[in-house]
């Protein structure tokens, strides 16, 4: 048998995000839709619908027309959701900007995305956003959140404004990802893409209007703005944001106080919650299910989440930004063994196949190859990059994930590794080329290569091998200091090794795997065993969202 699966056929929504919001407001007007605990905000579906219209009017008053881009560069807050729904209602494309971005990355996104308006806080506990923006140069419009400029934007809206015609096939969201090669690419996701992906995830979770989902993951990431808000929007489930940035205690308190029935997180978040000194004092008995994604997770952590957090129906999800994001997912009634050794089966209305990386032929069951997917979930393409799009989506509509997997006889897939050298650090995907390109601007560096090392807590960490220009000297601290404040903190190399040469093939291709092997040998590290192979099994990498 060939390694091919197609999920169940379920009706897809032929709606825009705005239409789906209106439908929820009509169906469940007084039910909780959004709770943002750190801002003491609580909105019903009726109120959320009304606030989205106010934002849409404000965007229109700024001169933004359907298809224009507005960026949000912020940690989790009520305004994030209002902008997501308001922009969709106005036909404006929302561009997610990672709050960890610094001047180098922000400048790139502002120029590439053609953002006309940027929404942000002036600063928070970690970052002075105003200073970074001044270094880059602001776009046409800048609106400060939690500031009079936000209220002025809302007040400027025309009460007589009516939503423009928008189709489900229109682009709703741009998320920046490293894709398969080179600089970050803007992934174009339509209303149809993300709304229906939320619906299919909800189906696997068996989520409904009585569910209350605790979402401590970031909104700028597809985990928050699709798996979070789109699951809520397609079911009527309440969405709970416990804090601006992840805080284990705030998440536990939100579950208890709001009687959450589901909780999301990457494994490091669940570990932090389980190990919190006050863990035993919180009543988590309302929990039923949730999603663990973003990195590998030891089986013992999954067992503890099931038992100590009362999450017996916790699930695993796998995908990437280009697929809206979820491709495969375990089900709430799958055995623990299935949930920790596989990435689940194909979601409804989703085709998945495993192909030989070179011949592109579908491989037999059990053989490892590249995982490809096709269906409603495949992105519209990379923004203004037709060649990169053609390299990623073939003529038959198959999306090449660049990840290696195999298919079991029961229809579940086992993640085997990344075909490319993407680094996954605590749920953040890092493409080494970005770090290498930046380090090449250091006046003392002649050449540099970056790769990942396994890390017990974060999954992987970035390491740099650096060759200095003749006659120059530098320290590890100097190289890391050069990165701090200019690239996101999670991209700063954990270790720096200075070398005179790099291992290469006879054709002068650098062999990063030999660098990795040397670092692991000298640091006493061992290679993590692939999911589904050996005992004890390790669960999959999930949601390899390229962001």
> What tens digit of pLDDT does each residue of 101-118 get?
999 999 999 999 999 999
What's the confidence (pLDDT) of residue 509? Answer: 63
What's the confidence (pLDDT) of residue 144? Answer: 98
**In CATH, what number does 17-31+40-166 get?**
3.40.50.980
What would the pLDDT profile of 355-408 be if each residue is shown by its tens digit? Answer: 998 899 999 999 989 999 999 999 999 999 999 999 999 999 999 999 889 999
Angstrom distance (rounded) from CA 20 to CA 28: 12
Angstrom distance (rounded) from CA 540 to CA 328: 11
What's the confidence (pLDDT) of residue 178? Answer: 58
What's the confidence (pLDDT) of residue 444? Answer: 95
Q: Look up residue 83 and give its two tokens.
A: 């902008």
Percentages of the chain per state (helix, strand, coil), in multiples of 5:
30, 25, 40
What's the confidence (pLDDT) of residue 182? Answer: 55
Above 50 in pLDDT, residue 539? no
Phi, psi of 149 (to 5 degrees): -65, -30
Mean pLDDT score of the chain, rounded to an integer? 91
More confident residue, 532 or 364: 364
What would the pLDDT profile of 343-354 be if each residue is shown by its tens digit? Answer: 999 999 999 999
pTM: 0.85
Domain-wise residue ranges, the chain: 17-31+40-166, 423-502
CA–CA distances in Å: residue 93 to residues 113, 187, 480: 10, 12, 35
What would the pLDDT profile of 180-214 be if each residue is shown by its tens digit? Answer: 345 789 999 999 999 999 999 999 999 999 999 99
Above 60 in pLDDT, residue 546? no
Angstrom distance (rounded) from CA 414 to CA 407: 6
What's the confidence (pLDDT) of residue 267? Answer: 83
What's the confidence (pLDDT) of residue 536? Answer: 29
Cβ neighbourhood burial of 222 (10 Å; 0-12, 13-18, 19+) = buried
Helices (H), 299-420: 299-308, 336-341, 386-392
Phi, psi of 403 (to 5 degrees): -110, 150
8 Å CB contact between 184 and 1: no
Percent of the residues in the chain that have a pLDDT greater than 90, as a whole number: 79
- Superfamily designation of domain 423-502: ANL, C-terminal domain (3.30.300.30)
Above 80 in pLDDT, residue 531? no
CA–CA distances in Å: residue 358 to residues 362, 364, 453, 513: 11, 15, 27, 20
What's the confidence (pLDDT) of residue 508? Answer: 54
What's the confidence (pLDDT) of residue 507? Answer: 43
Percent of the residues in the chain that have a pLDDT greater than 70, as a whole number: 93
Q: Look up residue 259 and give its two tokens.
A: 């009687």
Side-chain-side CA neighbours of 134 within 13 Å: the count stands at 6
pLDDT tier, 544 (very low <50, low <70, confident <90, very high otherwise)? very low
What's the confidence (pLDDT) of residue 296? Answer: 60
């Amino acid at each position: 048998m060939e390694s091919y699966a197609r999920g169940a056929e379920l009706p897809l929504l032929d709606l825009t995000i705005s239409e789906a919001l209106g439908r929820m407001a009509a169906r469940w007007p007084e039910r909780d839709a959004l709770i943002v605990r750190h801002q003491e905000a609580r909105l019903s579906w009726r109120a959320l619908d009304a606030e989205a219209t106010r934002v849409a009017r404000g965007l229109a008053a700024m001169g933004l027309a359907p298809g224009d881009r507005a960026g949000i560069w912020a940690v989790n807050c009520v305004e994030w959701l209002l902008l997501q729904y308001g922009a969709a209602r106005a036909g404006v494309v929302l561009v997610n900007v990672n709050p960890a971005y610094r001047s180098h990355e922000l400048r790139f996104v502002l120029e590439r995305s053609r953002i006309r308006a940027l929404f942000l806080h002036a600063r928070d506990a970690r970052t002075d956003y105003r200073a970074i923006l001044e270094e880059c140069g602001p776009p046409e419009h800048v609106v400060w959140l939690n500031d009079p400029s936000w209220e002025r934007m809302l007040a400027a809206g025309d009460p007589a404004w009516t939503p423009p015609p928008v189709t489900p096939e229109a682009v709703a969201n741009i998320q920046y990802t490293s894709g398969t090669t080179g600089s970050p690419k803007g992934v174009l996701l339509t209303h149809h893409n993300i709304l229906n992906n939320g619906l299919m995830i909800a189906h696997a979770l068996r989520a409904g209007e009585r569910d209350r989902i605790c979402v401590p993951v970031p909104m700028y990431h597809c985990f928050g703005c699709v798996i979070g808000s789109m699951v809520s929007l397609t079911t009527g489930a309440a969405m709970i944001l416990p804090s601006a940035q992840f805080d284990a205690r705030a998440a536990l308190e939100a579950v208890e106080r709001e009687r959450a029935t589901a909780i999301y997180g990457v494994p490091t978040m669940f570990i932090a919650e389980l190990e919190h000194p006050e863990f035993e004092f919180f009543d988590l008995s309302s929990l039923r299910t949730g999603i663990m994604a973003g990195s590998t997770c030891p089986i013992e952590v999954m067992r503890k989440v099931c038992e100590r957090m009362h999450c017996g129906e916790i699930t695993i999800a796998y995908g990437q930004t280009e697929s809206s994001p979820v491709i495969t997912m375990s089900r709430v009634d799958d055995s623990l063994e299935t949930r920790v050794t596989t990435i689940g089966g194909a979601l409804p209305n989703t085709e998945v196949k495993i192909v030989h990386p070179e011949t592109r032929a579908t491989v037999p069951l059990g053989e490892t190859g590249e995982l490809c997917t096709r269906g409603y979930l495949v992105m519209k393409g990379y923004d203004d990059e037709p060649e990169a799009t053609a390299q990623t989506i073939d003529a038959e509509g198959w999306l090449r994930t660049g990840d290696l997997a195999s298919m079991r006889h029961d229809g579940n897939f086992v993640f085997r590794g990344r075909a490319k050298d993407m680094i996954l650090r605590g749920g953040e995907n890092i493409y080494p080329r970005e770090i290498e390109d930046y380090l090449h601007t250091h006046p003392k560096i002649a050449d540099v290569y970056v790769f990942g090392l396994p890390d017990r807590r974060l999954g992987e960490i970035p390491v740099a091998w650096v060759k200095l220009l003749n006659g120059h000297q530098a320290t590890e601290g100097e190289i890391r200091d050069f990165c701090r404040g200019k690239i996101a903190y999670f991209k700063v190399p954990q270790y720096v090794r200075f070398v005179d040469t790099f291992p290469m093939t006879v054709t002068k291709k650098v062999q990063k795997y030999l660098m990795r092997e040397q670092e692991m040998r000298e640091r006493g590290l061992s290679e993590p065993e692939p999911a589904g192979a050996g005992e004890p099994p390790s669960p999959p990498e999930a949601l390899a969202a390229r962001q």
